[in-house]
Structure 1
Amino acid sequence: MVFLRPTNMAYPAIWRRFTVRRDGVTTLLRIQDLTEDLRGAALALMEKYFMSDEPPCKFIGIHNHPRAVAELKSLWSKSVKDNLSLVCVKDNDDSDPTVVGVNVLTVVSKADKEEVFQSDDKVWSMLFGAVDLVARSVNIFEKYDVDKYLTAYGLVVDPEWRGLNIGKELLETRIPLCRAIGVKVTATVFTAGASQAVAKKAGFEVLFEITYEELAKKGFVFPGIEKDTKSSKLMALMID
């Protein structure tokens, strides 16, 4: 059964506001639900920067593989329709808010039909297969005694806005979101050292870690990735 956002829950919701100081200028930002009118800009940001910066995508050269690109874009497009994803925008112009960060989110339910991932596209099998392996390394339902949890298919911050803790703000916003939808755990596979460090600051704990060297032995090869990140981690945060 596909998880549905509670009908009595306000939509769209603004989850938090905060200020950042960049180039000597203080800017007010807000994190809100990713609404349909912002999907184009948000998904464009994901395609432009997540695909080029996220280590497995970067080191496998996803942009050289149109079908893998299409598969990833399709995954994002389907997920944002759940109305659970978050976007960080400038808070000074509602008529044309600038999207500076995105976190594509969805809920995994114990009642969901179990499907083993498979694809005849070699690159997509490598990319999503590696994430799937790490995600399945720990049974979240049993570990936390829950029937559902919030997970993610990507987080990105516009390079011009990095270094301002926006990624951490997006991760921490999962807490009020989870409370609102009745979810007690959020768990995500973090594939980059930078995002792993941010997740740790946001309170996530490591449940499972595997080096990219070990993943290569299992057939998931991302040439040169060890120069950037040593391992992939499944990390989780309990919501009290």
Structure 2
Amino acid sequence: MWRTVIEQKTVLVCFKEGLNEIVGISMNYVTCKDDHFYESICRQNKSENNNRMYDVFRVLFDNFDIYEHYGVDYYMNGAGLAVAQKYRGRGIGLEFLKTRKSFCNMFRIELTSTIFTSSFSNNIADKAGFKLDKINSYEEIRIKHPHLKLPHINSDALTLKSMKF
């Protein structure tokens, strides 16, 4: 899965200045209206947890077509963002999200959108300028989709947020 994302050459990596030490990574990719890239990368990994995650994320897209809503044929999405524990709390995650604007402008991509899974990442997305498209509480997902067997998560909601340029 990750190799397919990396092959697009849209992944951002932050290194400690002057060293080869990775501080953080943002796994970005561009998806097009008819390419089903997201589905294909999720289904490459056959693990039960990965398939459950994909099915939970699909809940956010029920009755919401991002391409139609924003009038685009492609956009930049995020497949994960991580900052090494010893570098957390320094605003690096926020900078990764803010960097998407210049990256998208450079390649004439009008939209970036991501699913945010925790209260912390949702707050950072708001600070970076992302706007809410759709929200589902984890409790609502558990009730409406019991077959997903969602474990307890220390967060209120799963959100889809976007930033148009």
Measured against the shorter chain, the TM-score band is 0.7 to 0.9
CA deviations on 1:133-183 (whole Å, 9 max, x unpaired) are 224552111111111100011001111001100000000000011011110
Secondary structure of residue in 1 paired with 2:81: strand
How far the C-alpha of 1:85 sits from its partner, in A, is: 0.7
How has the CA–CA distance of structure 1 residues 157 and 211 changed in structure 2, closer, same or farther, with 3 Å as cutoff? same
Counterpart for residue 21 of structure 1: none
CA deviations on 1:81-100 (whole Å, 9 max, x unpaired) are 1100101111223xxx2111
Counterpart for residue 134 of structure 1: 60
> What code does the residue aligned with 1:112 have?
D
Counterpart for residue 220 of structure 1: 148
Decide which structure has the larger Cα Rg and report it: 1
CA distance in 2, matches of 1:113, 1:236: 19
Counterpart for residue 29 of structure 2: 106
CA distance in 2, matches of 1:121, 1:137: 27
CA distance in 1, matches of 2:62, 2:74: 14
CA distance in 2, matches of 1:201, 1:137: 27
Secondary structure of residue in 2 paired with 1:170: helix
Gapped regions of structure 2 (runs ≥ 5): none
Contact 1:207 1:234 in 2 (8 A): yes
Secondary structure of residue in 1 paired with 2:148: coil
Secondary structure of residue in 2 paired with 1:164: coil
How far the C-alpha of 1:107 sits from its partner, in A, is: 0.6
Number of equivalences: 160
Tell me the percent identity. Answer: 28
Gapped regions of structure 1 (runs ≥ 5): 1-74
Counterpart for residue 91 of structure 1: 17
> What code does the residue aligned with 2:121 have?
S
Q: Note the 1:1-240 alignment, pairs <5 A.
A: 75-93=1-19, 97-113=20-36, 121-135=47-61, 137-217=63-143, 218=145, 219-225=147-153, 228-239=154-165
> What code does the residue aligned with 1:87 have?
V
How has the CA–CA distance of structure 1 residues 182 and 136 changed in structure 2, closer, same or farther, with 3 Å as cutoff? farther
- Scaled by the length of structure 2, the TM-score of the pair is 0.88
CA RMSD across the alignment: 2.1
How has the CA–CA distance of structure 1 residues 210 and 98 changed in structure 2, closer, same or farther, with 3 Å as cutoff? same
How has the CA–CA distance of structure 1 residues 224 and 111 changed in structure 2, closer, same or farther, with 3 Å as cutoff? closer
- Scaled by the length of structure 1, the TM-score of the pair is 0.62
Contact 1:211 1:230 in 2 (8 A): yes
CA deviations on 1:87-126 (whole Å, 9 max, x unpaired) are 1111223xxx211111101111113158697787533221
> What code does the residue aligned with 1:231 have?
A
